[in-house]
Amino acid sequence: MDADQSNDVKAAGHAMSDELVVPLYEEQANVAKRRVVTGRLQVSAVTHENEQLVDELLKVERVEVERIPVGKPIDTVPPVREDGDTIIVPVVEEVLVLERRLLLKEEVHIRRVHGTERYLERVRLRKQEAVITRIPADDSTAGATPAADARMQTKKEN
């Protein structure tokens, strides 16, 4: 709508009522973004090591072998059997006589022995931490590269 049409509408509105609306003040908002550098952060990883003593009880299982001579004649080969923690393995030998007979020569008793023993060892454990250092921004070095910042720091120290 152009200005003449607007005035006509207002005049027509004025003719119908005795009220006239005149705009006096209008606010407008402008929003803008800008990047502000207030400082920098330096992040580095630091690894700490400490020695720790490991002291644990370990379950140990070993076997003891015992050979027991028997020396008695048998008719058939006896099976391998278990007696508690002991496994009994028959050892059979054929002996030539006028006739063939089986002779139980010996039994091998294998016994499981359970126990615990102390195990000690020093181990080295590592722990990493992130160290964050805040570096305030200088007006003279704002936007400079890290290498340039390092040169500026060296100059300030001298």
Q: Over pLDDT 90: what percentage of the chain?
A: 16
pTM of the full structure: 0.35
Question: What pLDDT band is residue 151 in, cutting at 50, 70 and 90?
Answer: very low
Output the six-digit token pair for 89: 């393995």
Question: What pLDDT band is residue 125 in, cutting at 50, 70 and 90?
Answer: confident
93-115 confidence digits (pLDDT tens): 988 767 778 889 999 998 988 89
Output the six-digit token pair for 98: 């006028």
pLDDT, position 8: 53
pLDDT, position 87: 92
DSSP single-letter state for residue 78: P
Q: Which of 21-35, 104-118, 128-142 has the highest mean pLDDT?
A: 104-118
Asked if 129 contacts 43 with a C-beta cutoff of 8 angstroms, the reply is: no
Asked if 48 contacts 119 with a C-beta cutoff of 8 angstroms, the reply is: no
Alpha-carbon distance of 36 to 32, in angstroms, equals: 13
Alpha-carbon distance of 22 to 143, in angstroms, equals: 51
Alpha-carbon distance of 88 to 111, in angstroms, equals: 9
Q: Give the HSE-up count for residue 21: Cα atoms under 13 Å, Cβ half-sphere.
A: 8
pLDDT, position 144: 47
- Which of these, 28, 9, 4, lies nearest to 20 by C-alpha position? 9
Please say if the pLDDT value at position 157 is more than 60.
Answer: no
